[in-house]
């Protein structure tokens, strides 16, 4: 097998290397099991060659033909016009077939595999520094919230971007329900763990389950959005059904999918990617075109489905809403923006 290793800046269309390729390559070199490392490397390397969204749209019910989402009647939700974007929306077909969801594979074509995820029954646990720990049934939770549609931009740390009509509710409404104690400073979130359906979780060198974290101030910001739907209907599984986060001013990996647990804590959570490569994927991960990833530039981004390359904006264009959150933090730029 010939492994091409060109510097990322030589390839304008793929200026960024997938996280998976790098990590699998690193495992390849350190892992004693060459078979496993070699196979994973090939898979990730091939996926990067394919074009955006070549498959047909896969609806949520594609593999379980009799599944009807119990919250279907809540869609489409009313659009909140306070959240608009200038660009056109990314085509649904493209968006539904180009996803990062490492539980189902370390490449972008996971949409079919993700249909194996069983999203009912689904329970969301709220624990840690709260008045009373709770286990919430997803349908009861969704029905207790005011759903709305928002148009958001999404910027992946790999230097591609998309725009998407999310449906969901404000993160601060979940915080109000959780009744955190005054000492809580962070919220740690966790994705489901079930290697029998999510075969990516059999790759034991990853620190499953996927974990992310935010400060209480970040989660309370108006922009922090808990997503239940997309494109006017319940979210497709590959988008992170039945509950996923959208933090549009941060790199995409912060927007954790298929959440099962929110833990209120006074300790800064260590995320999945931070555990793997802290120098490259930090806790803050705010979008900034001036702070490069150690292995590629963050100055521009490839717009999914269009072939356009556009300049990246500080805080992904959401600075007016969130820049104040970071004003008094005495942290080096590289820490805040990586
Ligand atoms: N549980 C989980 N959440 C995740 C990921 C993942 O692999 N697992 N990938 C993240 C990354 S890197 C990005 S860019 C977005 C991708 O969301 P999309 O597939 O809806 O575009 O999900 C984020 N949330
Ligand atoms: Mo990402």
Say how many Å lie between the CA of residue 255 and the centre of ligand 1: 6
Cα 303 to Cα 57, 175, 222, 293, distances in angstroms: 19, 33, 25, 18
Question: Which of 252, 272, 277 has most ligand 1 atoms within 8 Å of its beta carbon, as the pocket-test mutant?
Answer: 252
pLDDT (tens digit per residue) in 113-161: 999 999 999 999 999 999 999 999 999 999 999 999 999 999 999 999 9
Full residue range of the structural domain in which residue 205 is found:
46-336
For residue 102 and ligand 1, the question of a CB distance below 6 A is answered with: yes
Q: How many domains does the chain have?
A: 1
The pLDDT score that the predictor gives to residue 66 is 78
Structure token digits, residue 36: 């496993």
The pLDDT score that the predictor gives to residue 171 is 99
For residue 256 and ligand 1, the question of a CB distance below 6 A is answered with: yes
The pLDDT score that the predictor gives to residue 25 is 53
The pLDDT score that the predictor gives to residue 37 is 34
Domain membership of residue 1 (yes or no) is: no
The pLDDT score that the predictor gives to residue 1 is 37
Domain membership of residue 104 (yes or no) is: yes
* Entry field: residues in the chain: 338
**Among candidates 267, 243, 247, 239, which has minimal Cα distance to 136?**
243
For residue 255 and ligand 1, the question of a CB distance below 6 A is answered with: yes
The pLDDT score that the predictor gives to residue 18 is 61
Q: In what order do the strands lie in the sheet with 123-128?
A: 134-137, 123-128, 259-265, 186-191, 211-215
The pLDDT score that the predictor gives to residue 292 is 97
- Contact between residue 253 and residue 273 where contact means Cβ atoms under 8 Å apart: yes
Say how many Å lie between the CA of residue 115 and the centre of ligand 1: 15
With a cut of 70, list the residues of the chain below it in pLDDT: 1-65
Domain membership of residue 25 (yes or no) is: no
For residue 189 and ligand 1, the question of a CB distance below 6 A is answered with: no
CATH number at residue 238: 3.90.420.10
For residue 257 and ligand 1, the question of a CB distance below 6 A is answered with: yes
The pLDDT score that the predictor gives to residue 3 is 40
Domain membership of residue 205 (yes or no) is: yes
CA distance 229 to 231: 7
Domain membership of residue 9 (yes or no) is: no
Count of CA atoms in the C-beta half-sphere (13 A) of 270: 8
CA distance 30 to 126: 38
Domain membership of residue 12 (yes or no) is: no
Domain membership of residue 174 (yes or no) is: yes
Which amino acid residue places its CA nearest to atom 23 of ligand 1? 253
Helices 19-30 and 34-47 sit at what angle, rounded to 10 degrees? 160
Domain membership of residue 167 (yes or no) is: yes
């Amino acid at each position: 097998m010939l492994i091409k290793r060109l510097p990322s800046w030589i390839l304008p269309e793929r200026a960024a290397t997938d996280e998976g390729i790098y990590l699998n390559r690193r495992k390849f070199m350190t892992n004693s099991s060459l078979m496993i490392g070699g196979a994973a490397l090939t898979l990730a390397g091939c996926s990067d060659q394919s074009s955006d969204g070549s498959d047909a749209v896969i609806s949520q019910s594609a593999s379980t033909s009799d599944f009807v989402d119990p919250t279907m009647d809540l869609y489409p939700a009313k659009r909140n016009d306070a959240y608009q974007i200038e660009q056109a929306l990314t085509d649904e077909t493209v968006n539904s077939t180009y996803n990062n969801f490492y539980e189902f594979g370390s490449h972008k074509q996971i949409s079919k595999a993700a249909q194996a995820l069983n999203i009912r029954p689904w329970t969301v646990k709220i624990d840690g520094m709260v008045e009373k720990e709770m286990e919430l049934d997803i349908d009861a939770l969704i029905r207790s919230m005011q759903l709305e549609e928002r148009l958001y931009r999404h910027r992946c740390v790999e230097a591609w971007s998309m725009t998407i009509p999310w449906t969901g509710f404000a993160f601060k409404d979940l915080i109000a329900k959780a009744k955190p104690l005054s000492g809580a400073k962070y919220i740690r979130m966790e994705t489901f763990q079930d290697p029998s359906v999510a075969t990516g979780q059999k790759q034991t060198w990853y620190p499953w389950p996927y974990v992310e974290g935010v400060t209480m101030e970040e989660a309370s910001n108006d922009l922090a959005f808990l997503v239940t739907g997309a494109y006017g209907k319940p979210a497709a599984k590959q988008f992170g059904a039945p509950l996923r986060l959208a933090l549009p001013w941060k790199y995409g990996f912060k927007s954790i999918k298929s959440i099962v647990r929110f833990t209120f804590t006074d300790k800064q959570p260590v995320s999945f990617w931070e555990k793997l490569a802290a120098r490259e994927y930090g806790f803050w991960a705010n979008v900034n075109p001036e702070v490069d990833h150690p292995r590629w530039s963050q100055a521009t981004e490839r717009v999914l489905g269009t072939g356009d390359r556009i300049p990246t904006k500080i805080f992904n264009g959401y600075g007016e809403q969130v820049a104040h959150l970071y004003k008094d933090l005495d942290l080096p730029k590289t820490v805040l923006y990586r």
